[in-house]
Amino acid sequence: MNSSLLNKFEDIRILVIGDLMVDHYMWGKFERISPEAPVPIVDIIKEEVTLGGAGNVLKNLNSFGAKSDVVSVIGDDLCADELFTLLRDAGDSLSGIHHEPNRITTKKSRILASKHQMMRFDRESNHPINEASENFIINFVKDNAASYKVILISDYLKGTLTNKVLAEVIACARKNNVIVIVDPKGSNYSKYMGANVIKPNKKEAAIATGIDIADSESLKAAAQSLKKQTGADAVVVTLSEEGMAIYDDHFEIIPTKASEVFDVTGAGDTVLASIGICIASGMSIKDACVFANHAAAIVVSKIGSAVTTVEAVLQHIKNE
């Protein structure tokens, strides 16, 4: 890998489809316990709002220099306005955003003190989107699929990615020779049938297969099961501090590159974006995972939903 990657990445167009949300961080100091109840008192010093969920995938792609768009369904509330502003400020197109009445736009509020996340509050709707919203996503993809090299599906189980949406999007991508990479959730991965790459973490893989992943053999068995369930060309299982495993025509574990882990928030989004942009540039699944492993190592060493750059990843690889 070399610096020419930056030029390659700048020529790539990627579409992100999934659950958009606002990540809200409240940073503070913890020095005493409340006299009202045995709970910590956190003095808030600063607050930050940023794109989360599929939006964090988008942030990572933007940081890598790719041209990317997002398609999603949000509510018609104040948080939706906040999310719109974040997208606009990041320079992202708003044409793929659909408002659904009576839906709550997802917002996750986190309290952090002394480099630790102490609590999280969620406001959201997680019921399936309505038929009009489904048709909006499907029609957008049908109209624009040929413009993209890769479609990244970011599923947080908030209701955007219904079975109908997934089936139509994947079929359309296949028809237009667009690579589909999925960050999945849930217990039934057959809904992702036809995707090219499936990227669960170890816990998600165990839930979806019913296999207790305790060693490399059980990990391989789980990956094989997921490949069979989805018909994917490759399954990538992220293993947190242990790295990641790849199963395509053979099984391989890539050890972690992280020296310090402060916060794993959004690391899966970084891996999804990294693998997507690397495969879109023509890299093999293994080389894409090596790049993603280094990118993840950088973001988990930071607090909050962090991103990195191509230059930083290449330097991290060089310093190995």
- Whether 131 is covered by a domain: the verdict is no
CA distances from 103 to 75, 186, 198 (A): 4, 21, 29
Q: Which two tokens stand for residue 123?
A: 């406001």
Structural domain includes residue 292:
yes
- Low-confidence residues of the chain: pLDDT under 50: 263
- Quick check: is 113 in a domain? no
**Among residues 109, 121, 122, 118, which one has the least CA distance to residue 42?**
118
Residues 81, 49: Cα–Cα separation, whole Å: 12
Does the residue 172 lie in any domain? yes
Could you read off the pLDDT of 53-85 as tens digits, one per residue? 999 999 999 999 899 999 999 999 999 999 999
- Beta strands, E only, 59-185: 67-74, 97-99, 106-113, 116-123, 150-154, 179-183
Q: Is 47 in a helix, a strand, or coil?
A: strand
Q: Provide the sign of the torsion angle of the four alpha carbons 190, 61, 174, 99, taken in this order.
A: positive
Instruction: In whole angstroms, give the CA distance from residue 131 to residue 167.
Output: 14
pLDDT tens across 169-202, in order? 999 999 999 999 999 999 999 999 999 999 999 9
Residue 47 has what pLDDT?
94
- In angstroms, the CA 140 to CA 164 distance is 14
Q: Are strands 244-247 and 67-74 parallel, antiparallel or unpaired?
A: unpaired
Q: Which has the closest alpha carbon to 181: 220, 218, 136, 230?
A: 230
Domain membership of residue 159 (yes or no) is yes
Q: Distance (Å, rounded) from C-alpha 114 to C-alpha 132?
A: 45
Instruction: Look at residue 6 in the predicted model and tell me its pLDDT.
Output: 59
Which structural domain range is residue 249 located in? 4-21+52-104+139-318
Rounded-to-integer distance, Cα 61 and Cα 310, Å: 10
CATH of the domain at 242: 3.40.1190.20
Structural domain contains residue 133: no
What is the phi/psi pair of residue 15, to 5°? -110, 130
Given 92, 183, 263, 269, the catalytic residue? 269
Residue 184 falls within a domain, yes or no?
Answer: yes
End-to-end CA, the chain: 13
Q: Residue 43 burial by CB count (10 A; 0-12/13-18/19+): exposed, middle or buried?
A: exposed
Q: What's the total number of domains in the chain? A: 1
Supply the pLDDT for residue 288.
94
Q: What is the pLDDT of residue 124?
A: 96
Task: Give catalytic status of residue 269 as yes or no.
Answer: yes
d(CA 45, CA 269): 27
Nearest to 93 by CA among 48, 148, 165, 135: 148
In a domain, 123, yes or no: no
CA distance 209 to 203: 10
Element holding 172 (H helix, E strand): helix 163-175
